[in-house]
Amino acid sequence: MKSNYEIVINKHEFSKSLNLKLLIFLKKFVPDIDYNKWNWEYFTSKRKSNIILANLNGEIVGHYACLNYKFIFFSKIVDGAKAEGSYVDYKIILKKYKKNDHKIFDKLIRKLLKNNNNNIIFGFPNKIASDKQIHNGYKSLNINITKYYFLNKINRKKIYKINNIILNIYTIYSKLFLYFRLINYKFKKENIIELNVNHRNKLNTFLENYIKKNNDVITIYRDWDFLNWRFLENPYSKNKIFIINNNINEISGLIVLGETNDNKKNLLIKDIICLDYKSSNKLIKFSLYYMKKNNYDRIEVWSGKNKNFKILNTCLFINNFLAKSNFIKKMIIWSKSNDYKKINQQDKWYITMAFLRI
């Protein structure tokens, strides 16, 4: 057993040998991670991640990072990030060095917050990690989220605590609704097409228009670089991005439809962002068409308290997304400029599944 005990906190230096060592460390906490998944999450986005490591005698014992991308912040485009990968191997430290050192994570957090160029950082940590991060500079913000479902087929083992009579009535109603809603539906006539790199400039124009209409929103800046990295190159899930054009052939909305690798019968609306009610409604209706065509059991989408969500909520209700469940998403936030009066307002955040990994 090595007698000296000195924790060294530093930035991750990119080398093949160190990358392999780090991947072995991360597998202790994320067993299904491999090089491709790790490389995608931390290194293939346009703005490379900040990774802080804790080393003990050449052995990695701690990891903390932020995934960097652009944000829309009250009409400005700023550098932002998601806090990710909060891991410390306390067991190996206790076993090898007989130390119960719970200050390591504190040091990792302080090092990252001191050595990053972001205006804002957010994250969705667990309770233990959240307490540590709040203690070391973050603020806490509770986000009220509602999950809405359109139930095409009902898995009675997984769905809500509702008796069978109600479930049967709901199933019949959903199928009738879907039948009448999609009679003679032709999505190509709705000017809905799949997004590709050739739409990069049109997408930028769409985002400019979105910012003009929403001058007090906080959300991810969804340019081609972000959408391609987050959804199309994502090794954890299979996704497609669709855009809708208005009568002057400009993008007026986009929707991301996808599934996770562990549940291929559940269609997720992972992201939706639009300029107006009409575009939102057409894209939600398109998701019903897509679900039926590809034989999914149900669609799931998030919503919350925000003026953008109010439009979405109306579209969801009209399109029979009646089953729902509510939960609180505990978020940590950090502001370089300490502008917490703006950043700490729940109704200013437009959050979708784009904020997650799946």
- Same domain flag for 84 and 220: no
- Same domain flag for 157 and 261: yes
- Same domain flag for 220 and 297: yes
pLDDT tens digits for 4-28?
677 788 887 766 677 888 999 999 9
Q: What is the mean pLDDT of residues 61-81?
A: 95
- Same domain flag for 173 and 307: yes
Whether residue 66 is predicted with pLDDT greater than 80 in this model: the reply is: yes
Domain with 89 in it: 7-137
Confirm whether 42 is domain-assigned: yes
Confirm whether 110 is domain-assigned: yes
Confirm whether 52 is domain-assigned: yes
Read off the pLDDT band of 2 (50, 70, 90).
very low
pLDDT tens digits for 143-183?
888 888 888 876 655 555 556 677 777 778 888 988 888 98
pLDDT tens digits for 196-211?
999 999 999 999 999 9
- Same domain flag for 216 and 182: yes
Which of 88, 109, 137 represents a domain boundary (last residue)?
Answer: 137
- Same domain flag for 18 and 71: yes
Question: d(Cα 34, Cα 257) in Å, to the nearest integer?
Answer: 25
**Are 136 and 64 contacting, i.e. CB atoms less than 8 angstroms apart?**
no
> How many folded domains does the chain comprise?
2
Give the E-state strand segments of 57-185 in sequence order. Answer: 59-73, 76-88, 120-123, 139-151
Q: What values do phi and psi take at 228, rounded to 5?
A: -65, -45
Percent with pLDDT over 90 in the chain: 53
Question: d(Cα 214, Cα 221) in Å, to the nearest integer?
Answer: 13
* Amino acid 163: pLDDT: 60
Smallest Cα–Cα separation from 286: which of 324, 256, 250? 256
- Same domain flag for 311 and 182: yes
Which residue would you say has higher pLDDT here, 62 or 341?
62
* Amino acid 46: pLDDT: 87
Whether residue 3 is predicted with pLDDT greater than 70 in this model: the reply is: no
Confirm whether 350 is domain-assigned: no
* Amino acid 241: pLDDT: 98
Whether residue 265 is predicted with pLDDT greater than 90 in this model: the reply is: no
The 8-class DSSP code of residue 24 comes to: H
CATH number of the domain at 44, please. 3.40.630.30
If DSSP codes are grouped into helix, strand and coil, which group holds residue 205? helix
273: Cβ–Cβ under 8 A, 6 or more apart, which residues?
210, 219, 222, 253, 254, 308, 350, 352
Confirm whether 2 is domain-assigned: no
* Amino acid 120: pLDDT: 95
Q: What is the mean pLDDT of residues 51-69?
A: 92
Which of 110, 137, 164 represents a domain boundary (last residue)?
Answer: 137
Confirm whether 344 is domain-assigned: no
Say how many Å lie between the first and final Cα of the chain, rounded: 41
Question: d(Cα 6, Cα 10) in Å, to the nearest integer?
Answer: 13
Question: d(Cα 19, Cα 52) in Å, to the nearest integer?
Answer: 13
pLDDT tens digits for 102-125?
899 999 999 999 999 999 999 999
Confirm whether 165 is domain-assigned: yes
- Same domain flag for 133 and 256: no
Which residue would you say has higher pLDDT here, 35 or 73?
73
* Amino acid 1: pLDDT: 45
